[in-house]
């Protein structure tokens, strides 16, 4: 029975909310000062004014020295498990070769598919654990992880099993998504429907082995059409999976509208969603997961119209989209800066988007994204004087101490020597 008291906190964001936070309410942030947090056996025992807790007898007292304290961050869209890397594509990007052209030529996602098929389960596992450690260092305590670099049964299952094993052995919480419908491989070029049938035939096994909670698809020009996506996702829904869509990333095909129509948990990217799509999103419970790192990294295209989405009442989360091609970073803090600079989101909106709303986008609203009595003590102490500082000072790591279930999993070290 270990008890820890966090005291001398500067600003405390608990992000307490009964549900996801939408529209204008995203801009209202409750900032507590002179509060302390009592942790008992990895759970939050009390969050009260410091004067009420400071004399409680505990095993360890941690002086936060006036720093900002928040819930652990939640990253609701990552492609965690993959083989190889794609640094050779950077020159093509610089020459202006479009992302979808690289894919059409057998590169892009398909190049990672080849590397992932070749990699052993152990290699993929070690690589995933490495990236998870880095995510933890950036203050992330819960993530979603997609498959999608197999597009054959064997490799998709290999990816999902790696994610499951990582979940068992890494302190971070991982929520799995089956993205078997991520691209069209050479052998299915003339018959994408057959690839979708092949992937849908795995739904039962994935359910039985508890390998994924969500099913996702890349609805895009040259990949899967809205009609194909609808049929595929409907089958997944009938089997009891939560739904996600890579929607309206490059061409506005209507993936956002489809996400709303099917009652998807989230529609992701939404960079080129139409006015009508935004209105539908705003009137729905589907969460818009925006990925500004991808647009920044691809070097072209539009940033999602977050302002319009939020102003019209949508529920918005943000994420790294960590993957080896279109957004190669585990740094969700950098994405918070891009959300401020490129999506014009306020710091208050951004904190909702990486905590409570991100947790709801992966069905973890009841366990992650908030500092609340009875919950796991997933907490970050930041080297920052206030919550606005994190998006402001960009590109670096501001974490001082990261707790997962009350255990310190990362601590900023001093310089050696």
Residue 324 binds what, of Fe ion, ligand NIG, none (CB under 5 to 8 Å, by partner type)? ligand NIG
Residue 405 binds what, of Fe ion, ligand NIG, none (CB under 5 to 8 Å, by partner type)? none
| Binding segment toward Fe ion, per CB under 5 A, in 188-196, 233-241, 321-329, 346-354 | 321-329
With CB under 6 A as the contact rule, the residue among 14, 112, 116, 155 that binds ligand NIG is: 112
Residue 296 binds what, of ligand NIG, Fe ion, none (CB under 5 to 8 Å, by partner type)? none
**Alpha carbon distances (Å) from 345 to 286, 308, 351, 359:** 19, 10, 10, 19
Please report which helix (H) or strand (E) contains residue 302, including its range.
none
Q: Smallest distance, Å, CB 255 to ligand NIG?
A: 11
With CB under 6 A as the contact rule, the residue among 78, 176, 185, 326 that binds ligand NIG is: 326
| Binding segment toward Fe ion, per CB under 5 A, in 41-49, 158-166, 313-321, 344-352 | 313-321
Q: Decide: is 107 part of the binding site for ligand NIG (CB under 6 A).
A: no
CA pair distance 243, 201, nearest whole angstrom: 17
Please report which helix (H) or strand (E) contains residue 267, including its range.
strand 266-269
Q: CB burial class (10 A; 0-12, 13-18, 19+) of residue 108?
A: buried
| Binding segment toward ligand NIG, per CB under 6 A, in 108-116, 137-145, 301-309, 337-345 | 108-116
Q: Which residues of 388-402 are buried (b: 16+ CB within 10 A; e: fewer)?
A: bebbeeeeebbbbbb
Q: Decide: is 321 part of the binding site for Fe ion (CB under 5 A).
A: yes
Number of CB atoms found within 10 A of residue 176's CB = 25
Phi first, then psi, for residue 33 (nearest 5°) are -125, 155
Q: Smallest distance, Å, CB 148 to Fe ion?
A: 8
- 282 phi-psi bin (left φ>0, alpha ψ -120 to 50, beta other): alpha
Closer CB to ligand NIG, 22 or 146, in the complex = 146
Q: Is the dihedral of CA 271, 288, 179, 91 positive or negative?
A: positive
Q: Smallest distance, Å, CB 155 to Fe ion?
A: 18
Residues 203-222 that bind ligand NIG (CB under 6 A): 218
Angle, helices 192-200 vs 226-238, to 10°: value is 10
Number of CB atoms found within 10 A of residue 379's CB = 25
Closer CB to ligand NIG, 219 or 284, in the complex = 219
| Binding segment toward ligand NIG, per CB under 6 A, in 1-9, 106-114, 227-235, 361-369 | 106-114
Residues that bind ligand NIG (CB under 6 A): 79, 108-109, 112, 218, 246, 249, 294, 321, 323-326
């Amino acid at each position: 029975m270990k008890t820890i008291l966090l005291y001398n906190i500067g600003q405390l964001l608990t992000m307490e909310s009964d549900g996801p936070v939408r529209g204008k309410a995203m801009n209202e942030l409750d900032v507590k000062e002179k509060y302390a947090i009592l942790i008992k056996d990895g759970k939050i025992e009390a969050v009260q004014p410091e004067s009420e807790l400071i004399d409680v007898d505990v095993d360890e007292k941690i002086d936060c020295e006036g720093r900002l304290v928040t819930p652990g961050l939640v990253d609701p869209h990552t492609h965690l498990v993959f083989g190889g890397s794609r640094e050779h594509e950077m020159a093509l990007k610089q020459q202006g070769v479009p992302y979808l052209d690289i894919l059409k030529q057998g590169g892009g996602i398909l190049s990672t598919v080849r590397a992932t098929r070749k990699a052993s389960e152990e290699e993929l596992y070690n690589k995933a654990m490495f990236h998870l450690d880095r995510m933890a260092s950036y203050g992330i305590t819960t993530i979603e992880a997609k498959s999608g670099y197999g597009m054959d049964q064997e490799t998709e299952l290999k990816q999902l099993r790696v994610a499951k094993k990582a979940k068992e052995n890494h302190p971070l919480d991982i929520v799995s998504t089956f993205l078997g419908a991520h691209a069209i491989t050479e052998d299915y070029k003339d018959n994408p429907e057959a690839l979708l049938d092949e992937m849908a035939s795995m739904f039962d096994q994935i359910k039985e082995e508890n390998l994924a909670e969500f099913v996702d698809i890349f609805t895009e020009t040259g990949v899967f059409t809205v009609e194909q996506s609808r049929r595929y996702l409907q089958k997944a829904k009938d089997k009891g999976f939560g739904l996600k869509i890579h929607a309206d990333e490059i061409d506005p095909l209507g993936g956002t509208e489809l996400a709303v129509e099917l009652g998807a948990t989230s529609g992701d990217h939404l960079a080129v969603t139409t006015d009508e799509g935004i209105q539908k999103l705003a009137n729905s419970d589907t969460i818009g997961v925006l990925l500004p790192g991808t647009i920044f990294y691809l070097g072209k295209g539009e940033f999602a119209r977050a302002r319009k989405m939020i102003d019209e009442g949508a529920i918005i989360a943000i994420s790294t989209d960590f993957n080896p091609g279109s957004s190669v970073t585990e740094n969700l803090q950098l994405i918070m800066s891009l959300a401020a600079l490129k999506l014009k989101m306020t710091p208050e909106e951004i904190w909702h988007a990486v905590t409570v709303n991100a947790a709801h986008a992966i069905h973890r609203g009841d366990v992650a994204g908030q500092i609340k009595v009875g919950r796991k003590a997933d907490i970050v102490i930041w080297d920052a004087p206030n919550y606005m500082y994190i998006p402001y000072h960009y590109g670096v790591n501001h974490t001082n101490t990261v707790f997962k279930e009350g255990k310190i999993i990362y601590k900023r070290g001093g310089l050696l020597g």
